[in-house]
Amino acid sequence: MIRQASTEDAEAIARIYNQNLDEQGFANCDLTPQTAEYRLKAMRESGDRYPTFVSTSDDGRVLGWSSLKRWSTRPDVADVAEIAIYVDRSRRGNIVGAQLLCHLLGAARERGFRSLISIVLGRNVTSLRGVLAAGFAEVARLREAAFLREQWVDIVWLEKDLTVPDSAELARHLARFAPRKGQEGGGIMMQNGETGSYEFGAFRDNDVELGRLKHQARVGMALERAVWAKLGIKPGMRVLDLASGPGVVSCELARAVAPGHVVGVDANDRFIAIARAVQQEEQVENLEFRRGNAYELHFEAGSFDVVYARFLFQHLDQPQRALSEIFRVLRPGGMVCVGDIDDGWLMLHPEPARFPAFVAKAAAAQRAKGGDRAIGRKLYGLFKAAGFADVRSSVLPVTSQDLGLKNLLDIITGFKRELIPASQIEEAEQDLANVYAVASDPDAWGAVGVFYAVGKKP
């Protein structure tokens, strides 16, 4: 959540700012630690025209902060502001900084600023890359203008003209991190890169997608239970259901491990709300849902006996990082099971003429968002690289004889349709009509291979 900073945040803001001094970093040229009193005074003097914002975790911890700063006291440049963004060391390299920057652009426009200035040390490559990606342009570079950490460094000035509309490509990039109004205290809940190539709530028809997910879970439940039996899931276990979605599978998992406990984690706030409603309808008590993402699980090391993730890894641009986090939260001897797709094992016979083109369009669109439709074949190597022992990878064929051809088509094409860019959707709909025509053929057959990788934490 991103919200305007309060007086209670001053200590955390100062602490995060001072981390640069502790680390001998290159976030700025300051050599003097700041105090909570200094930050509090600065916030009071700046007022709403130059606000400070904080990004917080679900439990209220400040993960980073941003501010608009007065660039000059001259009245003729009052519509220009300087930006500042600092992220806690534990959240760097994630999306917190991008979220804060995107939110700050909106706050600046709301306050009528025409231009923003970012001043970055040349050695701070991460910050330079971030502001350039957000549409800032380098306007000046002072060569070796600062002597810091026993070396001369450049000072780079960048500017973003807020009066010029963002290009379509830039707007799409920023939309990944754009804030949406949340339900908690009127704050801002982020829907962004935490969700990888999947973002429920941003689809053309979210109700249809929700129905597809629930249908997929229910028609495949017998297959899920067979996987759990092989995995050794049993009563009394503590299980993490990662990317729990609408919660249908989580409820069944909770029944399987009762009186144990299941925690469902998903990056999407809407899914969390839906899952809690499903839990209430199903009257399952040994289950809870939390917002989170696969890259940063807010659990102590060794918290779970089993981590289960289905159809998540195809959406991740950093699957190895997610597996490292899974490894951390598993107890020694704990098991992980990841189930996912691979379009190399997707087939229909007779094959509709436009089926390959439709599949290729969807794969390209998902790849552009950081996803991978060929993740199934890669899971074995990823598990080995993450340090898991006794790694096994297998393919479970799911056929039209298992589910019915119409059900299979709904499952394998529904999400693909949502991936297609708007500029190609009319052609894609024609492709889909051609694909679904095969459902009327009583002799038609289809299959998809679901890859399951299992590993144990030594």
Strands (E), 71-206: 80-87, 115-121, 137-148, 151-161, 179-181, 188-190
Decide: 97 and 85 in contact? Cβ < 8 Å. yes
Phi, psi angles (nearest 5°) of residue 286: -85, 50
Q: Is 366 helix (H, G, I), strand (E, B) or coil?
A: helix
> Which residues does 159 contact at the CB level (< 8 Å), separation at least 6?
115, 116, 117, 118, 136, 137, 139
Distance from the first to the final alpha carbon of the chain: 36
Residues 29-51 as b/e (b if ≥16 CB within 10 A, e otherwise) read: eeeeebebeebbebbeeeeeebb
Q: How far apart (Å, rounded) are the C-alpha atoms in residues 191 and 269?
A: 8
Tens-of-pLDDT digits for all 458 residues of the chain?
889 999 999 999 999 998 877 665 666 777 788 999 999 999 998 888 999 999 998 778 899 999 999 987 677 678 999 999 999 887 776 678 888 998 999 889 888 899 999 999 888 877 888 899 899 999 999 998 888 778 888 899 999 999 888 887 777 777 766 654 432 222 222 233 444 555 554 444 556 556 666 656 665 677 788 889 989 999 999 999 999 988 989 999 999 999 999 999 998 778 888 889 889 988 999 999 998 888 888 899 999 999 999 989 998 988 998 999 999 999 999 999 999 989 999 999 999 888 898 888 888 888 887 889 999 999 999 999 999 999 999 998 989 998 889 888 887 776 676 677 777 778 878 888 888 888 889 999 999 999 999 999 99
- Map residue 125 onto helix, strand or coil: helix
